[in-house]
C-alpha cells in the first residue's frame, strides 16, 4: 500500500514546529520526560529541509530548557523514498531516544519495536521493510539485541 508523500506535516502550532507526527492516517504525539526536570512533556516534531546530504533521516536533540525536539530530514526521507510504515518506525525510534534519554541506537530500535507492537503498528511485513531500509544504509536491524 502506497500513501501520498505528504509526510509528517499538519497540526501546525508555529510555522515549523508541530507537536505530533502525521504520516497518512497515522498521527501521534511523543511524550518524554524533560531531561532536566523529569516532568513528562510533548516532544516537538520539526521538519527540516535542504539537508538531504546529512546522514540521518531524523535526529532527536536535547534543548537547553530540558525539552526534546525531533527533527525530520524531509528531503532525505523523500530522496530515499522511505515507505510510510518505516516512517512510522522512525517516529517511534526518535521518540524512544527522548523517552529513554539515550543516544543508543540499540535502545531506540528496541524500545521503538516494543512500542509499535503495543500500539498495533508492527507487522512482519513492516519489520521486514525496516530491516531492508537499514540495509540500504549499510546498517543491521535492530542495532542491538532486543530482550
Residue placing its CB nearer to Zn ion in the complex, 47 or 70? 70
Question: Contacts with Zn ion: how many residues (CB under 5 A)?
Answer: 2
Residue placing its CB nearer to Zn ion in the complex, 2 or 61? 61
User: What are the residues facing 47 on neighbouring strands?
Assistant: 72
Residue placing its CB nearer to Zn ion in the complex, 3 or 114? 114
List the x/- string, 103-132, binding to Zn ion by CB under 5 A.
Answer: --x--x------------------------
Collapsed DSSP state (helix, strand, coil) of residue 22:
strand
Residue placing its CB nearer to Zn ion in the complex, 105 or 131? 105
Peptide bond into 145 cis (omega under 30): no
Per DSSP (E only), the strands in the chain are 17-18, 21-23, 26-28, 31-33, 40-42, 44-48, 58-62, 68-73
Q: Which stretch binds Zn ion (CB under 5 A): 10-18, 74-82, 98-106, 123-131?
A: 98-106
Nearest to 18 by CA among 6, 5, 30, 34: 30
Q: How far is the CB of 129 from Zn ion (least distance, A)?
A: 17
Question: What does the binding site for Zn ion look like in residue numbers (CB under 5 A)?
Answer: 105, 108
Amino acid at each position: 500500500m502506497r500513501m501520498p508523500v505528504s509526510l509528517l506535516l499538519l497540526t501546525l502550532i508555529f510555522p515549523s514546529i508541530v507537536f505530533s507526527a502525521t504520516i497518512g492516517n497515522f498521527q501521534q504525539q511523543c511524550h518524554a520526560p524533560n531531561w532536566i526536570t523529569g516532568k513528562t512533556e510533548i516532544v516537538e516534531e520539526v521538519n527540516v529541509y535542504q539537508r538531504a546530504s546529512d546522514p540521518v533521516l531524523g535526529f532527536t536533540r536535547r534543548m537547553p530548557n530540558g525539552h526534546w525536539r525531533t527533527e525530520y530530514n524531509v528531503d532525505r526521507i523523500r530522496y530515499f523514498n522511505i515507505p510510510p510504515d518505516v516512517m512510522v518506525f522512525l517516529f517511534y525510534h526518535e521518540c524512544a531516544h527522548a523517552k529513554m534519554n539515550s543516544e543508543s541506537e540499540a535502545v531506540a530500535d528496541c524500545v521503538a519495536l516494543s512500542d509499535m507492537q503495543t500500539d498495533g503498528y508492527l507487522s512482519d511485513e513492516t519489520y521486514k521493510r525496516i530491516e531492508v531500509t537499514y540495509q540500504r544504509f549499510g546498517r543491521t536491524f535492530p542495532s542491538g539485541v532486543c530482550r
